[in-house]
Amino acid sequence: MTDSTKEQAADWSLSRRSAHAPGSPLVTVIGDGQLARMMHTAGIELGVTIRVLAGTADSSTAQVTPDVVIGDYTQRADVEEVSRDADAVTFDHEHVPNEFLEELIDSGINVQPQPAALIHAQDKLVMRKRLREMGAPVPPFMAIESVEDIRGFFEATSGNVCLKARRGGYDGKGVWFPSTVEHATELVEELLEKGTPLMAEKKVQLVRELSAMVARTPSGEVMAWPVVESVQEDGICFEAVAPAPNTKVELLRQAEQLAKDVATELGVTGALAVELFETTDEAGQPEIIVNELAMRPHNTGHWTQDGCVTSQFEQHLRAVLDRPLGSTAPIAPCTVMANVLGADCDPGTPLHQRMDEVWRRFPEAKIHMYGKGWRPRRKMGHVNMTLKEGQSVEELRTNARLAARYVVTGQWEDQQD
């Protein structure tokens, strides 16, 4: 536990409650964001108890769960404490040091997914190598350990370089697109000096992004959700459309099979998101390339809460507990998720009034909020909407986007002042 949280935690040890239902399985979730929060929503209905390691008492998950350990996931003792007696230990992010997890496993704790799988969601170079080994489609890449490395790679790719921090990047952070070889070498020099391990890969001629999600149990059962189109802006997902519209069945099948293979080959357990680039091959045909892996519920799977028989949060809990997986059948021909991202400025009206206005216009809008205060571009919630009879997918997408924007801006973007 860090010094700064120690005093608070002293009070909080008193306030931790853990009156579990008789025989209720206990899942420890390391993390306190919206993913852990929504695991708790699913856990309540399943009769699965969630215990979280939260950084602060007012974090997204700690607000809504009784069994909270306040602590720091980079501190061995905190990770140990929250994991004690758990039927499974899982995560809402990939940043827990793997040596802690290895120690937990050695002491008999059931950690899911295991570090041997997790490493592929933590280190992009390890992931790229492993995927290439298994024959999955990846762009040309190399480790960047010197300015000579980047110079060579820049030349080899005719300047189509995507430079990445091997670890820790997300939502567009830790990714750079140097436009000149000078810019590239400067960047690499600076980053290596700071001790940032780097890799580079060939920039993909992107048509769009897809996401293929599956869940897998330790026993090896795998279930896939329909593949979605994921729309990004400045590296942050702001929309997911399920299933991916205007897509050949062949390509959807290929993406789904790829995600299943990755889960099995890497021994992933729980939810796995395989983020994909759709590009065009030499014959002009659509082709997919793996971008990133996430081993947990994922933003591109939020639509499953209102669009599928089994949500990713329920499935993740079932999977890490090695219980049978649920049907992933969609309940509508199309579901759209639009992220509620903090606007550039905080509108004057209260959040609940803005939600009300959205509900007045769209009584079918499912608004999910994370209990987070405003910050520009912060993921504060999401809106799910399913296709109604007579509605087009385009109309549905427009409505979901309008709704999500209104929640943060208090403005209808399709209406002039």
Q: Which residues are annotated as a binding site for ATP?
A: 124, 164, 201-204, 209, 291-292
- For a second copy, the closer CB: 211 or 386: 386
Q: Which of 250, 356, 413, 414 binds a second copy (CB under 8 A)?
A: 356
Structure tokens at 3: 């010094």
369 binds a second copy (CB under 8 A): yes
Distance CA(149)–CA(163), nearest Å, equals 11
SS3 64: coil
Please choose, out of 54-62, 106-114, 151-159, 288-296, the segment that lies near a second copy by the rule CB under 8 A: 54-62
Beta carbon of residue 148, minimum distance to a second copy (angstroms, whole number) = 51
Which of 176, 238, 303, 370 lies at the binding interface for a second copy (CB under 8 A)? 370
Using CB under 8 A, which of the segments 104-112, 189-197, 227-235, 370-378 binds a second copy?
A: 370-378
Check residue 302 for interaction with a second copy (CB under 8 A).
Answer: no
Cβ atoms < 10 Å from Cβ of 334: 21
d(CA 247, CA 249): 6
- 65 contacts a second copy (rule: CB under 8 A): yes
- Tracing tokens 């943060």 back to the chain, one arrives at 408
Binding of a second copy at residue 66 (CB under 8 A)? yes
Shortest CB 406 distance to a second copy, Å: 13
Phi and psi at residue 406, to the nearest 5°: -60, -35
Q: Which stretch binds a second copy (CB under 8 A): 10-18, 100-108, 136-144, 288-296?
A: 10-18
Number of residues that bind a second copy (CB under 8 A): 65
Name the token pair of 72.
Answer: 């720091």
Contact present, 165 and 198 (Cβ < 8 Å) = yes
Asked if 347 touches a second copy (CB under 8 A), the answer is: no
CB 248: neighbour CB atoms within 10 A? 10
Q: Can residue 85 be called a binding residue for a second copy (CB under 8 A)?
A: no
Quick one: which segment of 46-54, 183-191, 201-209, 248-256 binds a second copy (CB under 8 A)?
Answer: 46-54
Binding of a second copy by 342 (CB under 8 A): no
CB atoms within 10 A of CB 45: 10
Q: Does 135 bind a second copy (CB under 8 A)?
A: no
Please name which of 171, 162, 409, 398 lies closest in space to residue 300, comparing C-alpha atoms: 171
Backbone angles phi, psi at 141, to 5 degrees: -150, 165
State in angstroms the smallest separation of the CB of 6 from a second copy.
18
Sheet holding 198-202, edge to edge: 141-144, 198-202, 161-165, 175-176
10 binds a second copy (CB under 8 A): no
Least distance to a second copy, CB of residue 107, Å: 23
Residues making up the annotated binding site are: 124, 164, 201-204, 209, 291-292
From the list 10, 77, 206, 309, which residue makes contact with a second copy (rule: CB under 8 A)? 309
- Give the residue, chosen from 211, 300, 312, 386, that forms a contact with a second copy under the rule CB under 8 A: 386
Segment contacting a second copy by CB under 8 A, of 139-147, 202-210, 229-237, 355-363: 355-363
Cis peptide before 333 (omega within 30 of 0): no
Give the count of alpha carbons within 13 A of 5, CB side only. 19
Distances (CA, A) of 204 to 133, 144, 233: 20, 18, 16
Q: How far is the CB of 101 from a second copy (least distance, A)?
A: 24
In the DSSP assignment, the letter for residue 308 is: B
Distance CA 293, CA 270 (A): 13
* Residue 372 in the binding site for a second copy (CB under 8 A): yes
Residue with structure tokens 């993390």? 31
* By CB under 8 A, residue 359 contacts a second copy: yes
| Structure tokens belonging to residue 76 | 């061995």
Q: Within a 10 A sphere around the Cβ of 171, how many other Cβ atoms?
A: 14
CA atoms of 241 and 300, how far apart (whole Å) = 9
Tell me the per-residue interface mask from 16 to 45 with a second copy, x by CB under 8 A, - otherwise: xx-xxxxxxx-----------xx-xx-xxx
Question: Is residue 352 a contact residue for a second copy (CB under 8 A)?
Answer: yes
Binding site for a second copy (CB under 8 A): 14-17, 19-25, 37-38, 40-41, 43-47, 49, 57-58, 60, 62-66, 68, 305-306, 309-310, 318, 321, 323-327, 329, 331-332, 350-352, 355-356, 359-360, 363-373, 381, 386, 388
